[in-house]
Amino acid sequence: MEKADLIITNAHILTMDKNLTEYERGDIVVKDGKIVDIGEDVGKNYTGSVIDASGKIAIPGLINVHTHAAMTLLRGYGSDNPLKVWLEEYIWPVENRFVSYEFVKDGTDLACYEMLKNGVTCFVDMYFFEDAVAESVKQAGMRAVLCTGILDFPNPGAKTPEEGIEKTKDFIAKFKTDEHIYPCVGPHAPYTCSPKTLEMAMEVAEEFDTLFHIHLSETEFEVHQIKERYRNTPVKHLHNVGVLNDRVLAAHVVHPTDEEIELIAERGVKVAHCPESNLKLASGIAPVPKMLKAGITVGIGTDGTASNDDLDIIGEISTAAKLHKGYWKDPTVVNAKEALLMATREGARALRLEDKIGSLEKGKYADIVLIDKRKPHLQPMFDPYTQIVYSGKGLDVNTVIVGGRLLVKNREVLTVDREYVLYKSSYWYKKISENT
């Protein structure tokens, strides 16, 4: 008998590997944070602590490929306004006044609690004071791809884009070899970053071999503004500047032309699809079926909670799967498997982390979610993919494991203090509401 750290037995396993291998009753064996064995009855060959997952579905840890975690503290703030008004009259002024290391730490703690409850094990964050985000992520035991938002105008993180770039370099140097924090470069958007800023940002991404995360073609207003300034549409504009390549993870991409979709596919750009944020801010509906047809890697993101307003990634894939059927009047587009892939293997590919996470396979990190299937709203279960995507809720998540470490047990988050995050969110609510 070989020694293991953890053996999950009797699970209905959806591996989400490239053959979508499924075990109706299988075991997952974990050692040194990684999966060392998976399949029917393989657990009997090992000794170690056991989690009996009878009645549960095991899926890879869910991946949220675009958020601004600390914006949990602005949940609901300035709702029901167009993006431009919401940003310029509500969000940016409040951020400039209140965002600090403490704000970001407290907001990210709240976000980590909520994401863990919803089965998210890895997320992408673009915000300010990313050191505080990293501290929260490490305390929570999750993984995250983190970048400082770089903008041409003064913001809570930096006074100039050059300062934003310097902070990005320092942050990358600090976390380059970390197993939980994957630093990257985050120029905010083509309408907030000049071509020079975008070029500087890409130089850093290339020098340190990281992702280049940007908001792109989010609203018609952006398309209009970029056309006026540069006589081009946003995706083509990035191409002209020379920053459209396979490092790019582009959030939203709601308004690409057909030619731009081809360009995105050709250049290997990945897309972070954020349907609920796009709906709430009335930005539009991204042409995801066309993107998938073109072979583009599409992951799923919640965006910040001020524009969603939750971090439930299962709810997000459910929205995605239904939204595109309705919009295209075609029930075959974005099926349940494709939707779940966006939050698992394709999400990992969007982050260039497909060798480490995104599916339950030997050699990958043991980032595992167990969903309780003994719930009336999930029964009877003819097809587990369908049930997770169309009937499931984030709160059906029973157990969350990251790198073999138990972070959520029987729906209780073990690594983030619930009472403390509740106390801190009411503290910030009072501070913001009394001073605005």
As beta bridge partners, residue 23 has 13
Q: How far is Cα of residue 169 from the mean position of the Cα atoms in its chain?
A: 22
Residue range at the interface with Zn ion (CB under 5 A); choices 22-30, 131-139, 300-308, 378-386: 300-308
Residue range at the interface with Zn ion (CB under 5 A); choices 17-25, 301-309, 319-327, 420-428: 301-309
Task: Name the residue nearer to Zn ion (CB basis): 303 or 396.
Answer: 303
Q: At its nearest, how many Å lie between Zn ion and the CB of residue 38? A: 35
Binding to Zn ion by CB under 5 A, coded x per residue (else -) over 317-356, reads: ----------------------------------------
Other CB atoms within a 10 A radius of the CB of residue 282 amount to 12
Task: Name the residue nearer to Zn ion (CB basis): 303 or 372.
Answer: 303
The correct pick among 303, 309, 338, 372 for binding Zn ion (CB under 5 A) is 303
Contact positions with Zn ion (CB under 5 A) in 245-264: none
Torsion of CA 380, 381, 385, 386, to 10 degrees: -30
Structure tokens belonging to residue 422: 């509740």
Q: How many residues touch Zn ion (CB under 5 A)?
A: 1
Q: At its nearest, how many Å lie between Zn ion and the CB of residue 218? A: 8
Contact positions with Zn ion (CB under 5 A) in 79-118: none
Candidates 20, 17, 60; CA nearest to 368 is 60
Q: At its nearest, how many Å lie between Zn ion and the CB of residue 408? A: 26
Task: Name the residue nearer to Zn ion (CB basis): 304 or 392.
Answer: 304
Contact call for residues 66 and 272 (beta carbons, < 8 A): yes
Distance CA 164, CA 183 (A): 14
Candidates 215, 281, 274, 293; CA nearest to 248 is 215
Task: Name the residue nearer to Zn ion (CB basis): 27 or 303.
Answer: 303
Task: Name the residue nearer to Zn ion (CB basis): 234 or 403.
Answer: 234
Q: At its nearest, how many Å lie between Zn ion and the CB of residue 67? A: 7
Residue nearest to Zn ion (CB): 303
Q: At its nearest, how many Å lie between Zn ion and the CB of residue 266? A: 25
Q: What angle do CA 241, 244, 247 make, to 5 degrees?
A: 135
Whether residue 27 is preceded by a cis peptide bond, meaning omega within 30 degrees of 0, is no
Q: At its nearest, how many Å lie between Zn ion and the CB of residue 214? A: 10
Other CB atoms within a 10 A radius of the CB of residue 391 amount to 15
Contact call for residues 395 and 117 (beta carbons, < 8 A): yes
Binding interface with Zn ion (CB under 5 A): 303
